[in-house]
Amino acid sequence: MTEGFTLPTRFGAQSLGGCYAPETLMQPLLDLEAAFLAATIEPSFLAELKGELRHFVGRPTPLTSAPRLAAKVGLKALFLKREDLTHTGAHKINNALAQAILARRMGKAEIIAETGAGQHGVATASACARLGLACTVYMGVTDMARQAPNVARMRLFGAKVVPVAAGQGTLKEAVNEALRAWAGRCDRAHYILGSALGPHPFPTLVRSFQTVIGEEARAQVLEQADALPEVVIACAGGGSNGLGLLLPFLGDGLRRVAVEAGGHGAALGEHAARLDGGRVGVLHGCKTLLLQDECGHTAETASISAGLDYPALGPELAALILDGKVEVRRASDDEALSGARMLCETEGILPALESSHALALLAALAAEGAATVLLGLSGRGDKDLSTYQSRLGI
């Protein structure tokens, strides 16, 4: 184990996670863990975070009953945890804002972030504008094209968006470039990683700022339905949304399901389903389930959703899956599109393509005998309108 850290750096029976970072970043990572530990027992930090989550982000987000969609897919009851209603429109703001406050406490004047779908980039840009921090976001060129509204939003919030042309031009390359940028500016910049991945302490940091989703949802469903649901389900790219919703239900006797991107085929390169064809490996500072070729090079991935095409699953979620505590399913591009359309038509809610992967599984859960489901609606679909228009022919 790495010397110097206080918190556990590993997860599960296979010891996933860890801190596989270049030496230049080791002291910044040690400093970050120390600052995080100090902040989480510091009343002023906790009070500021709580206040900002309430008055800036709009927490608690509602838990919305969706009876018409439930009836359509054959469920008795369906509850949607509405992260789409947060300020900036996705769960990403919970973590981005918390880390930005932490960074300011650490005396960092500059923020670096990566983004895939752009939701983490928008959330970080917004938090930085609010706190008066300079912000640079690295984004793959493919993602910039398919999530153009989010690029414009980041720029309006004053962030510099740096296009990353390498490889497939998606989240993996954006993380590469953000890590490189941080190595060059780690004396003055903090890197706000957006998902529960990367070197320790990032997976733990991000998860701890996202479990507010599941904590609220659990209390809300008990209040509204007087019982826990039979299934809790969320989509999983890196895993910040999946862990955030599912982790607070870990002690409950119910099914916890994470949904991966099935893309448009079963071969390596046609999907981002890390449980099918992924092997344990190291990418971006952590050991986890990774889509890779036989020589340990990261494989290409495919998904209609820019937020779900990361080739690795965050280490803690991967460990929960391998240890049998979370089930994994996959939904294809087409199934996700159908899921989105169904929610639009039955409940008047436009989901993000990422969240639509979870919606796509509802009928299958009903067919398997589930009657009550709580679904994490991780984000809103405005950013995906052009994809919906072209793919659904509207």
Partner 1 sequence: MNPLLPFLMSGDPSLEALPGLLAETKALGLEAIELGLPHSDPIADGPVLQAAAHRAIQKGATPLRVLEALAGLTDSPDIVLFTYLNPLLQIGAARLKRLLAPTPVKALLVVDLPFGEEAAFEADLRSAGYPMVPLLAPTTTLARARRILADRPEPGTEAPFAQRFAYVVARLGVTGAGQGTDLEPVAQRLRDLQGLSGRPFAVGFGLSDFQSLEAIRAMGATPVIGSALVQELVEGRSLHQALSGRFVADA
Nearer to partner 1, 91 or 287 (CB): 287
Give the nearest distance from C-beta 162 to partner 1 in angstroms: 13
Catalytic residue among 114, 316, 347, 354: 114
Contact 274, 290 (CB under 8 A): yes
Rounded Cα distance, 251 and 242, in Å:
16
Give the nearest distance from C-beta 171 to partner 1 in angstroms: 12
Rounded Cα distance, 192 and 27, in Å:
16
Show contacts with partner 1 in window 265-294 (CB under 8 A).
Answer: 279, 281-285, 290, 292, 294
**Beta strand pairing call for 327-332 and 372-377:** unpaired
Show contacts with partner 1 in window 306-365 (CB under 8 A).
Answer: none
Size of the site for partner 1 (CB under 8 A): 39
Show contacts with partner 1 in window 160-189 (CB under 8 A).
Answer: 166-167, 172, 176, 179-180, 183-187
197 interacts with partner 1 by CB under 8 A: no
Nearer to partner 1, 41 or 295 (CB): 295
Among the listed residues 251, 253, 203, the one whose alpha carbon sits nearest the alpha carbon of residue 8: 203
Tokens 């018409």 found at: 68
Nearer to partner 1, 131 or 282 (CB): 282
Question: 3-class SS at 126?
Answer: helix
Selected range binding partner 1 among 2-10, 69-77, 115-123, 215-223, rule: CB under 8 A: 2-10
Helices within 228-269 (DSSP H only)? 240-246
* Whether 126 is catalytic: no
Catalytic residue among 195, 332, 378, 383: 378
Contact 285, 20 (CB under 8 A): yes
Contacts 24+ apart (CB under 8 A), 175-181: 175/114, 175/138, 175/284, 176/284, 177/114, 177/138, 178/112, 178/113, 178/114, 178/138, 179/25, 179/284, 179/285, 181/112, 181/136, 181/138
Show contacts with partner 1 in window 4-43 (CB under 8 A).
Answer: 4, 18-28
Among the listed residues 274, 278, 193, the one whose alpha carbon sits nearest the alpha carbon of residue 235: 274
Give the nearest distance from C-beta 136 to partner 1 in angstroms: 14
**DSSP label of 383:** G
Catalytic residue among 92, 108, 172, 383: 92
Nearer to partner 1, 295 or 394 (CB): 295
Ramachandran bin of 139, using left for φ above 0, alpha for ψ from -120 to 50, beta for the remaining angles: beta
Sequence length of the chain is 394
Give the nearest distance from C-beta 176 to partner 1 in angstroms: 5
Contact 162, 185 (CB under 8 A): no
* Whether 42 is catalytic: no
Give the nearest distance from C-beta 199 to partner 1 in angstroms: 9
Site string for partner 1, 291-310 (x = CB under 8 A): -x-xxxxx------------
Q: Which two tokens stand for residue 256?
A: 């916890």
Say which amino acid occupies 6. Answer: T
Nearer to partner 1, 221 or 312 (CB): 312
Nearer to partner 1, 5 or 45 (CB): 5
Among the listed residues 85, 94, 141, the one whose alpha carbon sits nearest the alpha carbon of residue 118: 141
* Whether 378 is catalytic: yes
Nearer to partner 1, 176 or 356 (CB): 176
Query: Can you give the binding site for partner 1, defined by CB under 8 A?
Result: 1-4, 18-28, 166-167, 172, 176, 179-180, 183-187, 279, 281-285, 290, 292, 294-298
> What is the set of active-site residues?
92, 114, 378
